[in-house]
Homo-oligomer: A and B are copies of this chain.
Amino acid sequence: MVIEYDGTSYHGFQRQEKAHTIQAEMEKQIERLTGKKTTVCAAGRTDAGVHARGQVVAFDTTATIPAIRWTPALNAFLPSDIRILESVEVSRDFHPQFQAVSKHYSYYLYREKNGQVFYRNHALCTTESLQLEAMREACHHIIGRYNFLAFCARGSTAKTFERTVRQCCLAARGPFLRLDIEADGFLYNMVRIVMGTLLQVGRGKIVATDIPEIIRSRDRARAGPTVPPQGLYLASVKYPSGPD
């Protein structure tokens, strides 16, 4: 299934004891629909407050509901902040995370003083002036295959820190500044640390041409701070030839 959700009132995707999560909500409603317990796997386990426009999830079921009927059936049970956009039947060995070829995240900044009340849960609101050209130059230095340990939060359980960033660019559109970043995989908090580092570049506190040296240092302390979750969206996930 391709799903979208507003992560504002959830403690992230992954099921946890006594916390409201996307996974728990989906599993509860699938059980209501089919009468059977199931486990839902996702392409990316988004954190608390993080949103999704194109998360991909999968689960096993013996229910005889045709794939196309799952979308309206499950949407009728789910709360309005989680929506199924598309559902297809996949082979039994499909796993939305392990078979993904790349993931695309967006991070939104809202840059006007007026209107922040409407975007406070869906963008990072800031009116500080930023040197966009320097930030764009910094983006170019993020693209490539590197060890991104300097852009990984402590506590990560990743076995390797090499990732290939295929796209990293900033687009200004009306009151928004949007970072789009696509990679074969992301380390824990990597997009939020990249955005925090780009902001430091925009403020003149980090020089764009220092990015390669920051990557090489593998030193988390040299990159910028982790920006808050509400500006982050899992935009889409790519598979070798569609989700199946």
Contact = CB atoms under 8 A, between A and B. Distances in A.
Interface of A: 4-6, 51, 53, 80-83, 85, 113-118, 120, 122
14 contacts: A4-B114, A4-B115, A4-B118, A6-B117, A6-B118, A6-B120, A53-B114, A80-B120, A81-B117, A82-B117, A83-B116, A83-B117, A85-B114, A118-B122
Nearest to A54: B114
Contacts of A115: 4, 53
A118 B4 CA distance: 9
Contacts of A83: 116-117
Contacts of A81: 117, 120
A220 B120 CA distance: 38
Copies in the complex: 2
A120 B51 CA distance: 14
Contacts of A53: 114-115
A7 to B, nearest CB: 9
B85 A4 contact: no
Contact of A118 (B51, B85, B113, B116): B51
Nearest to A113: B85
Contact of A117 (B5, B117, B120): B5
A51 B118 CA distance: 9
Contacts of A116: 4, 83
Contacts of A118: 4, 6, 51, 122
A118 B53 CA distance: 9
Nearest to A80: B120
Contacts of A122: 118
A82 B113 CA distance: 13
Contacts of A85: 113-114
Contact of A4 (B4, B51, B117): B117
Nearest to A120: B80
A12 to B, nearest CB: 16
A166 B115 CA distance: 25
B6 A80 contact: no
A152 B178 CA distance: 42
A228 to B, nearest CB: 12
